[in-house]
Structure 1
Amino acid sequence: MGSDLSTDHSLADKTLIIFDWDGTLMDSIGLIVESMHIAGEEHGFQTTDKAVQDIIGLSLMNGIEILYPQATKQQKLAIQQSYADYYIANSHRTPLFDSIEEMLQTLQQQGKQLAVATGKKRKGLDRVLDASDSHDYFVMTRCADEAGSKPDPQMLTDILVHTQQRTSQAVFVGDSIYDIQMANQLGMTSIAVNYGTASSAALAAQHPNYQVETPQDLVDLLTQEQ
């Protein structure tokens, strides 16, 4: 079940729920890792699964710069294009996690406003929103090429302004340390999910307010009537 790491925040009172996308709503971590390996090796560079997992949540180019610091600017751009080509061609393999769509429907019915803050580019997010037919769940989505890469909190600030919500009315849900760091910079309540990219221990070290093990635990935590 979900672990409540703080008694100072009541999720039932939150009117705005902001989600990360990859590894939080969509089961895409495996494809991200595979795509980065394919792209790097195509241009003569290698890395490890863990290294790729550690940069998930950042913008794609920021991640490439961390993974391949020895690459030239042109090589990094070429890796970015190869990654995008492979990921797009295989994006049909990335479904929403079980029970997530039902959770989004339930939260909407409860009168919650839902939003997305992701390290994806706008073009990439729109593509997966179309593929998963989930545009209508979210009152706003914000991407790394619109507001800076996590843990810069500008994405969250933009969403708060658009929805006219206060930080105290919002909660952010994510699977990377950058997600929790971003929420912490604003003092926003956060939920860390352990089924995505980062380990439970790494997430706990960022002091999220809540931490859950499975997608179903997240559903139970967010949709419970309190």
Structure 2
Amino acid sequence: MSNPLRLVLFDVDGTLVDSQGSIVSAMTASFSALSLDAPSRDAILSIVGLSLPQAMQNLAPQQSVANQTRLVDEYKQAYHAQRLAQGAASSPLYPGARDVLEELHAQPETLLGVATGKSQRGLDALVEAHGLERFFITRQVADHHPSKPHPSMIQAALSETGVAEQHAVMIGDTRFDMDMAAAAGIASIGVSWGYHDVSALNSATAVIEDFAQLSPALAQLWDK
């Protein structure tokens, strides 16, 4: 009997790429544009994974909705300018990321996807910059869904691919990713190299310390 189709969904920032420098820089620029004190680096990294409107609500709760919207717009402009200036270097792939994508993509029963707080434009630009177009059969972005940890992104990915919940897994670095997976009824694998402390990944099915551990972790998951 052939193996069932499986879906491996990846978060992007803090999981596949290290974009913290660009995120912190763009967020600092957005607050400076409104003559506001920028949040600390730790505060900024704590909201990575959320949609930008939700992130600004968390970082600037005392600001009006109009100012929060301006912060979002200023962030987008600053981040876009950095991406144009630096290209792929603004968000380099983590060591081993491309190798594991190649390995999983070569498995006929394994489908790959993305569930990210990035915008469609931001994700498309990153995918193109790193030459990842052929890997992801489904790409779920913040433009079309409620912010993580709402399960909408995963639900849409499952619907698009026809994969059952028990054959899907979410890979991510934040508690938002793990909580989103739990809300959608799928397994999750946390990564220790991202922007949330490992202690925040307590709802993960498993936690890995480098990409070399992902395939064995998936094998153990599928064998259950």
State the partner residue of 1:7: none
Moved segments of 4+, more than 4 Å: 222-226
* 2:162 aligns with one of 160, 164, 188: 164
**2:22 is aligned with 1:25:** no
State the partner residue of 1:47: 39
Over aligned residues, Cα RMSD in angstroms? 2.1
State the partner residue of 1:108: 105
Equivalenced residue count is 213
State the partner residue of 1:6: none
TM-score normalised to structure 2 length:
0.88
AA partner of residue 177 (structure 1): R
CA apart distance, 1:214: 2.6
Q: Tell whether the 8 Å contact from 1:23 to 1:175 is kept in structure 2 after alignment.
A: yes
Q: Tell whether the 8 Å contact from 2:6 to 2:168 is kept in structure 1 after alignment.
A: yes
**2:29 is aligned with 1:38:** yes
1:44-193 map, 5 Å = 44-45=35-36, 46-91=38-83, 92=87, 93-111=90-108, 112-193=110-191
CA apart distance, 1:18: 0.5
**2:193 is aligned with 1:195:** yes
Distance in 2, Cα, partners of 1:172 & 1:13: 17
CA apart distance, 1:109: 0.8
Q: Tell whether the 8 Å contact from 1:172 to 1:183 is kept in structure 2 after alignment.
A: yes
Distance in 2, Cα, partners of 1:168 & 1:222: 13
Deviates more, 1:58-67 or 1:207-216: 207-216
SS at match of 1:168: helix
CA apart distance, 1:223: 7.6
Distance in 2, Cα, partners of 1:223 & 1:87: 37
Distance in 1, Cα, partners of 2:6 & 2:154: 14
CA apart distance, 1:220: 5.5
CA apart distance, 1:165: 0.6
Gaps of 5+ in 1: 1-11
CA apart distance, 1:73: 2.7
SS at match of 2:16: coil
Distance in 1, Cα, partners of 2:129 & 2:161: 25
Q: Deviation string for 1:133-174 (max 9, x for gaps)? A: 112101110111212110110110011011001000101101
Distance in 2, Cα, partners of 1:33 & 1:219: 31
Higher relative contact order (CA 8 A, sep 6+): 1
TM-score normalised to structure 1 length:
0.87
Distance in 2, Cα, partners of 1:98 & 1:222: 19
Q: Tell whether the 8 Å contact from 1:98 to 1:216 is kept in structure 2 after alignment.
A: no
Deviates more, 1:158-167 or 1:76-85: 76-85
Q: Tell whether the 8 Å contact from 2:100 to 2:211 is kept in structure 1 after alignment.
A: no
Distance in 1, Cα, partners of 2:4 & 2:199: 28
Gaps of 5+ in 2: none
SS at match of 1:37: helix
SS at match of 1:136: coil
SS at match of 1:139: strand
Q: Percent identity?
A: 32
**2:201 is aligned with 1:210:** no
Distance in 2, Cα, partners of 1:149 & 1:84: 17
